[in-house]
Structure 1
Amino acid sequence: MTISEVREKAMLAQEAAAAMNRMTTEQKNKALLMMADALLEHQGQIIAANGQDLSRGRDNGTSDSLLDRLALDGVRIAGIAEGLRQIVALPDPVGTVLDDFRRPNGLSIQAVRVPLGVIGMIYEARPNVTVDAAGLCLKTGNCVVLRGGSAALESNRAIVAILKQALEAAGLPQDAIALIEDSDRASVNEMLKLNGLLDVVIPRGGASLIRNVVENATVPVIETGAGICHTYIDESAQPGMASDIAFNAKVQRPSVCNAMETLLVHSSHAGKHLPALAARLREAGVELKGCSKSQAIVDGLLTVEESHYATEYNDYILNIKVVENLDEALAHIRQFGTKHSECIVTENTEHAERFMQEVDAAAVYHNASTRFTDGFEFGFGAEIGISTQKLHARGPMGLPALTSTKYRIAGSGQIRG
């Protein structure tokens, strides 16, 4: 009987997991540094492969913002390599003693961090995720089976080949990192059912991908969420600060999940300052859609439909809604937010505290851009995703989120009566 690529690579990863359990922090760090050096040494090979993906994407009519997510150059590869070096500098969570106590019967009990095992990573056209996931999994003693989007297939092939060579040179099992090259959606669906081979699946991408994984997986899932993020400019907001934060949240990199999709503006602020902010956004190429109140303040806004508020654009498109108070802003976020990242710009400490307390999201900001919801910015070195669920891990998932707990019990012959 022929074994599928997905099952074969998952089986090899499971075998490698036993060897990874024996690796010391020093061995893992050495491999990470060699992986970083290899990416830089072979960046020409990566850029050439990425060029094939970009060319195919342009031929298929891929949007500029999605092409930006896909594109690699020397600067981005250097940043990806630096992410691996930052992971090296972080403490290894594996083996950390979380609790240590003795029972009256003399049993000594320790709770320690251990690897999750074999992680299945399903994601879209961002080849940097390939390296981030591999690096974070390696540092935590996990093996990873990667299934990236078909748009980045050539880039991912080149990257994973380079990483596997570095692993072998460092004395670690090559099969600790695997790439599923079958671009058929059936390969994703097969991964979702690999109970006993994959210990957890982590999806990272748009709403439809995440929904498919959550609804169809029998393997446990750590849900990373779509990013319908809001910035609410309150009545007391400083105009310059509010403009800078909103502009950054939308324009700095609109294709990512922590970019703002809807701007909520208090009516008293909007009447004075929204036209200037809208002009600034338009000058940057942002298409603006507005509610009836915002259309009365700013000329030429397209009409926003209710369905638009539930849309993650990942593009230079922004919804604008004028609200009468904080309560209306909070109600809108409750209805349309995806529990990712939300921001209030205000000088009113009571409003700020209420927003921070009541908004149900993985990251809540006061007077700062939502673009900071990122493992690198949080000092985690990199992230495997931003969890919007409430079990096990939430927010940018760094090293501790990729571990579980094992209880180690030592006795002196105790038996239970």
Structure 2
Amino acid sequence: MANEDAHLPPQAVPHGQLPSGTSFFELSRLMVVGIDNAKGQLIQKAQTSPNGPWAQDWTPIAPGAYMTMTAGVTKDGRVAIVAQQAGSPTLFFIAEDPNQAGPVEKWLAPVNIGAPPGAVVYQKLSMARDADGRVEIFLTDNLGRVWWIYQNPDVIVQVQKTITPPGTTTPIVVTADELRPPAQPWSAWIQLTGQLVAITALRQADGRIALFGINSALHLYRCQQAKAEALTVADWTPWVQIDAGYPFTEMAPIVGPLGATNLFAMTQQGQVLHTKQQPAGSDTWTAWATPGYSRVPKYTLCAGIQGDGDIMLAASDQQHVHSFNAQYDAATQNWSGWRDFNFSVANTRLSLDYNADGRLALFSMMIQNDGTNALWTINQMAMDSSEWEWTWTMLAASNLKQVVVVRDLTPPV
């Protein structure tokens, strides 16, 4: 349920650029985008301000009913969603309206981005921004095929301008290159190689997108853009099988504080293993290692970034006990080990993201058999703290089909 856009190490905002009397780590707020289980409607709930309380009610995003979705952010920091229309393979792209005057959250009209040829339903959707900040969308369909669509890059147009050179009074006409939006906002759907049932896209430290996937035999694969502006299948490296013979059920890629892409993945036996780029940005990866052994097998996993940029893992085991594992030093791969800190009464899906002040927030979606899932959240007590709030804040008592946590970089202040 996590936001699959880049989780790059956070950077503090200079206090001189902030409103008087405030002390933000980053000018952002957390938002949860979801699908209403009863109506299929896209809905959202967000903090009312950076570090602020959560809104009382869920509010609709767009008319109509939807089956599945994911969310991320646009180049300018607005929340963006891609969702499949109910009863159709058609996908729509929906972004926050840049004009947010007034108390009601506003969204632009859904944009029809079509559907991959022959696709009926989708197993997994993932979204990431590329090196130019353009949104790129990836999915696996009902046949296990991998598809890709992206916002087209701006085009260079030659324009004539009349200027008066310094020291003269005579205007002249010059020709200059200017960037303009493309005539066609989105590319066509492009089929990438591979057969997968799950896929996750991640914006790496240099802006190139990496893909991680699991196939029906639980083999784990990775590939990445070979250059910053990837526009064709040939602009990707080949898929590389990286599971070393271990069957994997979950994956949680994240960019660490040294700029390397890290991959945490859960084996079918419930152990979390770790590999990372070495050096950062390369196509060379370390052998699988363990950040800490779990005596009780785990079943769900997520990764986040703490206020100092270090990685935090959270997981839940088969006894429904939640534990975290904090990275102390990325260079030496020093970890706290798994430490229990809370529990749930049923299976859950976990997600981590940070508040504007750098404190991590953990989100727990309680899985119900009838699909009427509940959502709860707790925070770290302070930035980089090993203590967590004991009392959960309920965001929804039931009726959630799916949720994605995203950080809105254009919050009300």
TM bucket, shorter chain: under 0.3
Question: TM-score scaled to structure 2, two decimals?
Answer: 0.23
Which structure dedicates a bigger proportion of its chain to strand?
2
Larger radius of gyration: 1
Question: TM-score scaled to structure 1, two decimals?
Answer: 0.23
Which structure dedicates a bigger proportion of its chain to helix?
1
Relative contact order, CA 8 A, sep 6+: which one is greater?
A: 1
